[in-house]
Structure 1
Amino acid sequence: MKILITADTYPPQINGAARFTERLAEGLARRGHDVHVAAPSLTGRPSRQVVRGVTLHHVRSFRYPLYERFRLGAPWRGAALPLVDELQPDVVHIQAHFTVGRAFAAAASHRGIPVVGTNHVMIDNIFDHLPVPRLARGWVSRTVWRDIGRVYGQASVVTTPTPRAVDLLTEATGLQALAVSCGIDAAPFKDASRRWAAASQAPDHVPTALFVGRLDPEKRVDELLRAFAQLPASLPARLEIIGHGSCRPELDAIAKELQVGSRVVFRGVVTDEELVEAYGRADVFCMPGVAELQSIVTLEAMAAGRPVVAADAMALPHLVEPGRNGWLYTPGDVEELAGHLATLLGDRALRRRMGRESEVIVARHTLEATLERFEEIYDEVTHGRIVRLRPAA
């Protein structure tokens, strides 16, 4: 098939939606499809290039003043029609409702081309980059969800990564949706884990907790720092933090205030290879975020055989089974988080047992299974077997 995937964010931008879109596009290309991606140009000027079998169409974009790493494309149908008419894809798969996705959903619908939509949006994430007073957030949230419903209402099939995300979308918009995991290729993470196995068994090994993600408010990395500072003095441990974001200066200040700066390493943005190595040398993975529709980085840590301590929020309970492959804690309860970290960082045998269980659980989320599921969906909509899923009653 000829597949046009549209994204409002795409690598080299770093976030879960961008990484999923890249893996989806490149995976489908490896399976023999003619894959095109339309995403905002990072320079503002339109361009075109082929990367690992995928044709990237960088559409004209504009800077979003409140979030320097996000670019806006033109949101109107006319901006997308020329490329849709040139490519004449069999299906258009939108990854967001913002600007590029909105324009291409309208253009595809206008030309009678089936649309598939995947929602990665959590409203809490949006509020971190919009100057919305707290008193107005309820109204703004309802307005944004109505807008999501209008854009995705043009799709024959809507997906989102987890059953909890499906429930959220249906409750807020009335749209029916399918849960399709983002999926990962576990092999690189397992390899890294094996390479670091000997080092982790050394008598002088200092156990390390790891966080990977944007350093933005909804990730609650400040809670992780405060919990780390509460670990018993008798327990040697390190904390590694990978990622960048608006909270980095604040987090630096918190680490100094708590006097843990010598044991906390902020690595910033790393390469894919460095990220894989970080999972390999870590002993415990922590995800304190409260707005995760799935959490690809948690899947990656589980693929590396790492136990997980995560917030009991949104979709994270789909990945962490308390007492089996890690623990969940109540968001905001720093003492509970510190207790779970101390238990795992202080017990090598428990880490190994829970890490093996993480590998068993993550086996349900293979990238190949995700690619096959989307191929099935594309086949169904292009052959008219699904015209449009009806809104929930």
Structure 2
Amino acid sequence: MRILLLSQFYPPVIGGEERHVRNLGAALAQRGHHVSVGTLMHPGSPETELDGAVRVHRLRGTLQRLSGLHIDPERRHAPPFPDPELVLALKRLVAREQPDIVHAHNWIYASFLPLKSQSGARLVVTLHDYGLVCAKKNFMHLGTNLCSGPAPAKCLPCATAHYGAMKAAGITSSNWASSFAARRLVDRFIAVSHSVARHTGLTPGRYEVIPNFVPDDVGVLGPEDPGLREELPAGGFILFVGDMMRLKGIRVLLQAYASLLQAPQLVLIGRRVADTPTEFPPNVRVLGAWPHSAIMHAWRRSLFGVLPSIGPEACATVIMEAMASGKAVVATDAGGMPDLVDHGETGLLVPPGDAHALADAMQTLLGDRALLARLGATSLARVGRLKAGAVVTRIEQVYRDVLRPATRSAAPTQQGAGEPSCQ
């Protein structure tokens, strides 16, 4: 098959979604498909380059030129509506690549919708978050409570608090319009968790629940950076990896950790953001954003991981990476995390925002090393279902389904009882 992956960002811009698209492209190419990527231009990167067997095309968009619209100049997002310049660039790219499948990730799909019918390609869209119905993508109302569902009277004030009035009106209204068009034009949605499928209101028969994945060799460690190794505690430690923000539960984690008895050090690896705490309890080691290879070494040396998000995390790859390192994870029973963590088997689940329950779970693992070892061993045994070898096969099947006229109008085979759904 000729496959065109669309992603608003691509390495050297690195995040969970970008890593997923890169790994997917590499895995598909390894299986003999012709794979190319269309992504937004990044300063200092070439317009066209080969990333292994995958040809990467960096495209310019009109909104990219308006730097004042973007909070982070390094991450100028695709808008939830057809960007005029990006639509033209995609038209040229489709004419050049002649894809059978266009597989879009995030809001960049909106700039392909006007081209869909004339392109002749089938369109698959992976929903890595709640952006189909939520202008902020996180499905949290006013940043504090799980949203009960989209409605104009709720969405506009919520988006205004996040973006400001002018941007909120444009983003919210255009997202509604693009979402309506997408539900008619997209041949198949892939939701990365049951939570995403449920909260975005996907139509039965029009979607599959397929998790993100980690490479088959994710557990094979490369050389360790001596400088970064020295920043880690000599003994075992509790590890948090991610943006140090309120929605990731960082404040709840610090409160819970402060109440632990005889606890080892807590290591935090990730970006500092606007709401990152400025003070930390004793014995907390705060590190910056590390290279992925160094993070995998940190997982291997840790006791267990903790991901106490208070929002409905869509599909946290960090849990898969912990599992691939043979580590248990304490996570919240929210979003896509119950799809990944089997409570009492590969980790422990606690209610979001509950510092006492989080502390109890961490104390349990610290006090019962036999339980900790059993959870870690089971995690390692089950992570194979979340590796490329298993997950990419399911994505290929989606491609085949939408390319077969006889099956496009029929409901896809739903996920079986024994199949994993999310990271």
**TM norm. shorter chain > 0.5:** yes
Decide whether the 8 Å contact of 2:4 with 2:37 is kept in 1: yes
Once the two structures are TM-superposed, the CA of residue 112 in structure 1 deviates from its matched residue by 2.2
Partner of 2:386 in structure 1? 365
Please state if 1:218 is matched with 2:276. no
User: Which of the numbers 212, 222, 230 marks the counterpart of 1:182?
Assistant: 212
Please state if 1:122 is matched with 2:125. no
In the alignment, structure 1 segments of 5+ residues that lack a partner are: 193-203
Once the two structures are TM-superposed, the CA of residue 206 in structure 1 deviates from its matched residue by 3.7
Residue identity in the other structure for 1:104: F
**Mapping of residues 133-282 of structure 1, within 5 Å:** 137-139=154-156, 144=175, 147-170=178-201, 176-189=206-219, 206-232=235-261, 235-247=262-274, 250-251=276-277, 253-255=278-280, 258=281, 260=282, 263-282=283-302
2:185 aligned counterpart, secondary structure? coil
Query: What CA distance in whole angstroms lies between the structure 2 residues aligned with 1:72 and 1:293?
Result: 19
User: Which of the numbers 84, 90, 97 marks the counterpart of 1:80?
Assistant: 90
Cα shift readout 1:295-320 (whole Å, capped 9, x = no counterpart): 11101101111111001101111122
Partner of 1:308 in structure 2? 329
Query: What CA distance in whole angstroms lies between the structure 1 residues aligned with 2:138 and 2:73?
Result: 13
In the alignment, structure 2 segments of 5+ residues that lack a partner are: 145-151, 160-171, 223-232, 412-423
Cα shift readout 1:322-361 (whole Å, capped 9, x = no counterpart): 2222211111111111111111123322211111121233
Decide whether the 8 Å contact of 1:117 with 1:152 is kept in 2: no
1:189 aligned counterpart, secondary structure? coil
Cα shift readout 1:202-252 (whole Å, capped 9, x = no counterpart): xx97431111122343212121122111111xx14111122214247x32x
Decide whether the 8 Å contact of 2:384 with 2:390 is kept in 1: no
Please state if 1:3 is matched with 2:3. yes
Name which of structure 1's ranges 366-375 and 59-68 shifts more when overlaid on structure 2: 59-68
Query: What CA distance in whole angstroms lies between the structure 2 residues aligned with 1:301 and 1:321?
Result: 14
Decide whether the 8 Å contact of 1:190 with 1:303 is kept in 2: no
Partner of 2:229 in structure 1? none
Please state if 1:70 is matched with 2:75. yes
Once the two structures are TM-superposed, the CA of residue 175 in structure 1 deviates from its matched residue by 7.9
Query: What CA distance in whole angstroms lies between the structure 2 residues aligned with 1:337 and 1:33?
Result: 45
1:5 aligned counterpart, secondary structure? strand
Query: What CA distance in whole angstroms lies between the structure 1 residues aligned with 2:333 and 2:141?
Result: 27
Once the two structures are TM-superposed, the CA of residue 177 in structure 1 deviates from its matched residue by 1.2
1:240 aligned counterpart, secondary structure? strand
Please state if 1:298 is matched with 2:297. no
Once the two structures are TM-superposed, the CA of residue 389 in structure 1 deviates from its matched residue by 6.7
Decide whether the 8 Å contact of 2:238 with 2:302 is kept in 1: yes
TM-score, structure 1 as length reference:
0.83
TM-score, structure 2 as length reference:
0.78
1:328 aligned counterpart, secondary structure? strand
Partner of 2:99 in structure 1? 89
Decide whether the 8 Å contact of 2:130 with 2:138 is kept in 1: no
**Mapping of residues 10-49 of structure 1, within 5 Å:** 10-43=10-43, 47-49=47-49
Identity, in percent, stands at 27
Decide whether the 8 Å contact of 1:156 with 1:388 is kept in 2: no
**Mapping of residues 300-379 of structure 1, within 5 Å:** 300-379=321-400
Cα shift readout 1:104-150 (whole Å, capped 9, x = no counterpart): 24323332211111111235792689997999643568854663342
Query: What CA distance in whole angstroms lies between the structure 1 residues aligned with 2:321 and 2:45?
Result: 34
Query: What CA distance in whole angstroms lies between the structure 2 residues aligned with 1:182 and 1:283?
Result: 24
Once the two structures are TM-superposed, the CA of residue 153 in structure 1 deviates from its matched residue by 3.3
Aligned residues: 368
